[in-house]
Amino acid sequence: MTTDEPRYEGARLTAALAALPGWQHRDSWLTRQYTTDGWRSTMMAVNAIAFLAEAANHHPDLAVHWGSIEVNLQTHSAGGITDKDLQLAAQIEALVCWQPTDGFPGLEGQADGWISG
């Protein structure tokens, strides 16, 4: 089923990507590569992404490797990138890259590796 959801293209897409560092447009897909410190971190991030995708009922394609994850988003029914993709990308970014800061007293965060863009 094809929908008439507005797609992001050209300057509009470039402007939207400015709010999503590390995310790129490639062949009608919104894509992001995350590097991890190994299999355990990779699988924790994949499961977190799966949780968000299921909650949103909007599911990315994932390429999962020992030390990396590639996330690819596209609204298939619209044939390109829509608000759904940009919103889910923002949620994925916030969750996968979250580390405690000074606003979280007592939480130190991972000292080495973990997940990076």
pLDDT value of position 100: 80
pLDDT value of position 2: 67
When pLDDT is averaged across residues 56-77 and rounded to a whole number, the result is 96
Taken in order of first residue, the domains within the chain and their CATH numbers are 10-99+108-116 (3.30.1360.20)
Query: What is the DSSP code (8-state) at residue 95?
Result: H
d(Cα 29, Cα 78) in Å, to the nearest integer? 12
Chain position carrying tokens 């990138």: 81
CB 31, CB 70: distance < 8 Å: yes
116 confidence band (pLDDT: 50, 70, 90): confident
| DSSP secondary structure letters along 23-73 | -EEETTEEEEEEEESSHHHHHHHHHHHHHHHHHHT---EEEEETTEEEEEE
Mean pLDDT for the chain overall: 91
Tens-digit pLDDT profile for residues 92-114: 999 998 888 776 777 877 766 67
